[in-house]
């Protein structure tokens, strides 16, 4: 299973730059406020230095001490106020940027070609929408602002150190090579580690989601131990991936901490010696040493948040990666001039070299009801997917009117063709919302008519709050058969010209299914209906039947013609009749 793409570093950087450009003004305001706050934070060490110098050379008096203490107090209060304003701005900015990123991601996800999602598996997408969004949220809300602030504080403290005494400040720089090289080493080896860690979460989510979704199959085939071994395998992979990054941090953090301690000790010794040798006042030596102690905190934060920024960068690469997937169809295109459907010499392969359709040609007239029958794995659903534009032929053509289906914009295509399979989804929300998503402008009367067309009006009206009943995992639970009826009612509301029904009534009992198909036929009169069916009664009621075997249409005609032909269909029909239609 191939995962969705991951954006390259250059693309991620370009994305980040464009975000900075879009929010430049707010960013500058935030940085100015933080800079002012950082300057305020530098004042106490300077005042203490001055006070010491005064004490050494003059007599300290009460009014003088009061003045200095007052200045200390004032600078602390101003620092607190400015910090508050700056932090407030940075959080607002972080939330704004994060909301924008999340919306952009959602928009990309919603336009992802279905084939890509299927190819990558839901686990990958699920992991990106949960783990990666969460990681990015921490980065954008906290890591980026904290990091920028720490950089501002570090730079300003360095400038202050140089202003007080460039000579004494030199000692503080002793830690720079240690921090630089250990951090560079960490970044070089940790980035692939974080990538592996994130990818392992995706595989793990995929394995768990697949097992939970297929719980019944797992149970029926006694696959529990196999699945649990698979999940254990993915957890093991995550464990080793996390262990690797943890070991990297275990080496990196202590080296940075030791470098700090070294810087303070060296500055103290060096500036002390300078003061004794009268190259520096004791006050200046104290101020510089205090600045080195003070700079530890922002540098420590720069280093600590780097870790989070790394994770954020990998998550951003995975989120932006989704938007890199090229749309597999144009956004604009011509409208078909008619609803005639033609498949011409269509070949299709899910895996290269393994064609599952081997030259299918078929013309379906507007308003015709065609049933597609055949043994399991013959390629019936694949024909349905091609007609619905999910897949495109490897060779040959599939058209509506004069337009190639794969070249129709998705919105235009959905106005013409809709596919309903056994897979359908009930969203969290009311029954009305679940239906109206097919046609937001639908009135209650339209909705009632659609429900009536699929034999569902009676039970929907009998629900505790009728159309206002909350459904979905947290609400009222309807049966799979009822969910299928809801899916069909949505289809009636969408009202496309061509409907592809792939086992769309399979979850209903045969009698109910037949009744539903009849009610549906009355509503869909004049529409083209292509029904892929195991239940041959559907074929019996259709205008024509296509029999598909091994990716080819081997028989095509009306039910009576095909029975008279005494071929594949006739024997399928006979065995179905003998088994008894109610049983199938
Ligand atoms: P059924 O009646 O069981 O649904 P079908 O006639 O609809 O079968 P298709 O689902 O179209 O058959 O499958 C045709 C062939 O393509 C089968 O051999 C199937 O295993 C294969 N196939 C279907 N989907 C995929 C896929 N996503 N990847 C690879 N092969 C696939």
Q: Is the model's pLDDT at 119 over the cut of 80?
A: no
pLDDT digits 0-9 by tens, 308-322: 888 888 888 888 888
For residue 342, report the distance from its CA to the centre of ligand 1, in Å. 21
Which atom from ligand 1 is nearest to the alpha carbon of 383? 11
Q: Judge whether residue 584 has pLDDT over 50.
A: no
Determine the average pLDDT of the residues in 36-40: 91
| 377 Cα–ligand 1 center, Å | 5
pLDDT in tens, 48-107: 888 888 888 777 777 888 888 899 899 999 999 998 998 898 888 888 988 888 888 888
Pocket test for ligand 1, best of 115, 351, 380, 422 (most atoms within 8 A of CB): 380
pTM of the prediction? 0.64
Q: What percent of the chain has pLDDT over 70?
A: 98
Tell me what the pLDDT averaged over the chain comes to: 86
**Rounded to the nearest whole angstrom, what is the distance from the C-alpha of residue 350 to the centroid of ligand 1?**
9
- Residue 337's nearest CA partner among 398, 400, 409 is 400
> For residue 11, how far is its CA from the centre of ligand 1 (angstroms)?
37
Would you state the pLDDT for residue 372?
A: 94
Position 19 pLDDT exceeds 90: no
pLDDT of residue 514: 76
Phi/psi class of residue 317: alpha, beta or left (left: φ > 0; alpha: ψ in -120 to 50)? alpha
Strands (E), 460-584: 470-471, 498-502, 528-532, 544-549, 552-557
* Protein residue with its CA nearest to atom 1 in ligand 1: 376
Spatial neighbors of 91 by CB under 8 A, at least 6 apart, are 141, 145
Q: Which of 88, 90, 156, 86 is nearest to 298 (CA)?
A: 156
| Alpha carbon nearest to ligand 1 atom 2, residue | 376
Instruction: Give the residue whose CA is nearest to atom 8 of ligand 1.
Output: 377
DSSP H helices in 214-223:
215-220
Give percent of the chain with pLDDT exceeding 90: 22
Domains of the chain: 9-324 (1.20.1560.10), 341-583 (3.40.50.300)
Q: What is the pLDDT of residue 580?
A: 60
Q: How far, in Å, CA of 322 to CA of 4, rounded?
A: 7
* % helix, strand, coil for the chain, step of 5: 70, 10, 20
**467 CB neighbour count, 10 Å cutoff:** 18
pLDDT band for position 143 (cuts 50, 70, 90)? confident
- Which amino acid residue places its CA nearest to atom 19 of ligand 1? 377
| CB within 8 Å of 219: residues ≥ 6 apart | none
In this model, does residue 370 exceed pLDDT 90?
yes
Whole-angstrom Cα distance, residue 289 to residue 283? 10
Using CB distances shorter than 6 Å, the residues near ligand 1 are: 350-351, 356, 374, 376-382
For atom 30 of ligand 1, which residue has the closest CA? 350
């Amino acid at each position: 299973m191939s995962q969705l793409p991951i954006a390259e570093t250059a693309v991620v950087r370009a994305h980040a730059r464009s975000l900075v450009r879009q929010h430049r003004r707010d960013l500058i305001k935030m940085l100015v406020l933080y800079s002012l706050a950082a300057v305020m934070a530098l004042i106490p060490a300077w005042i203490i230095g001055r006070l010491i110098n005064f004490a050494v050379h003059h007599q300290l008096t009460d009014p003088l001490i009061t003045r200095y203490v007052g200045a200390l107090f004032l600078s602390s209060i101003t620092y607190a106020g400015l910090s508050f304003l700056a932090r407030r701005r940075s959080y607002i900015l972080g939330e704004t940027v994060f909301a924008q990123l999340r919306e952009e991601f959602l928009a990309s996800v919603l336009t992802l070609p279905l084939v890509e999602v299927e190819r990558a598996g839901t686990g990958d997408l699920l992991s990106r929408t949960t783990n990666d969004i969460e990681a990015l949220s921490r980065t954008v809300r906290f890591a980026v602002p904290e990091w920028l602030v720490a950089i501002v504080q570090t730079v300003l403290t360095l400038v202050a150190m140089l202003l007080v005494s460039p000579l004494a400040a030199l000692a503080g720089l002793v830690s720079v090579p240690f921090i630089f090289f250990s951090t560079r080493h960490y970044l070089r080896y940790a980035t692939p580690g974080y990538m592996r860690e994130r990818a392992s979460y995706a595989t793990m989510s995929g394995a768990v989601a697949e097992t939970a979704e297929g719980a019944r199959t797992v149970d029926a085939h006694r696959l529990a131990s196999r699945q649990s071994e698979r999940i254990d395998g993915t957890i093991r992979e995550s464990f080793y991936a996390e262990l690797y990054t943890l070991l990297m941090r275990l080496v990196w953090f202590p080296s940075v901490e030791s470098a700090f301690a070294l810087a303070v000790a060296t500055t103290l010794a060096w500036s002390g010696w300078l003061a004794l040798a009268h190259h520096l006042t004791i006050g200046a030596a104290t101020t510089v040493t205090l600045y080195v102690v003070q700079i530890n905190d922002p540098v420590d934060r720069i280093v600590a948040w780097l870790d989070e920024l790394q994770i954020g960068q990998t998550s951003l690469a995975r989120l932006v990666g989704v938007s890199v997937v090229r749309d597999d169809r144009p956004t604009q295109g011509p409208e078909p001039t008619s609803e005639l459907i033609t498949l011409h010499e269509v070949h299709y392969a899910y895996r290269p070299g393994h064609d599952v359709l081997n030259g299918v040609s078929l013309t379906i007239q507007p308003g015709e009801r065609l049933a597609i029958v055949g043994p399991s794995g013959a390629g019936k659903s694949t024909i349905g997917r091609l007609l619905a534009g999910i897949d495109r032929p490897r060779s040959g053509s599939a058209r509506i009117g004069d337009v190639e289906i794969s070249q129709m914009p998705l919105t235009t295509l959905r106005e013409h063709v809709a596919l309903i399979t056994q897979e359908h989804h009930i969203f969290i929300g009311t029954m009305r919302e679940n239906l109206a998503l097919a046609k937001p402008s639908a009135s209650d009367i339209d909705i009632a008519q659609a429900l009536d067309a699929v034999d569902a009006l009676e039970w929907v009206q009998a629900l505790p709050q009728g159309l206002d009943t909350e459904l979905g995992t947290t609400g009222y639970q309807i049966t799979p058969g009822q969910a299928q009826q809801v899916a069909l009612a949505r289809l009636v509301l969408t009202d496309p010209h061509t409907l592809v029904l792939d086992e769309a009534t399979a979850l209903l009992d045969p009698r109910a299914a037949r009744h539903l198909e009849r009610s549906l036929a009355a509503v869909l009169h004049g529409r083209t209906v292509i029904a892929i069916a195991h239940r041959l009664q559907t074929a019996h009621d259709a205008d024509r039947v296509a029999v598909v075997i091994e990716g080819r249409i081997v028989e095509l005609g009306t039910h009576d013609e095909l029975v008279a032909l005494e071929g594949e269909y006739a024997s399928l029909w006979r065995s179905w009749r003998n088994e008894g239609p109610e049983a199938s």
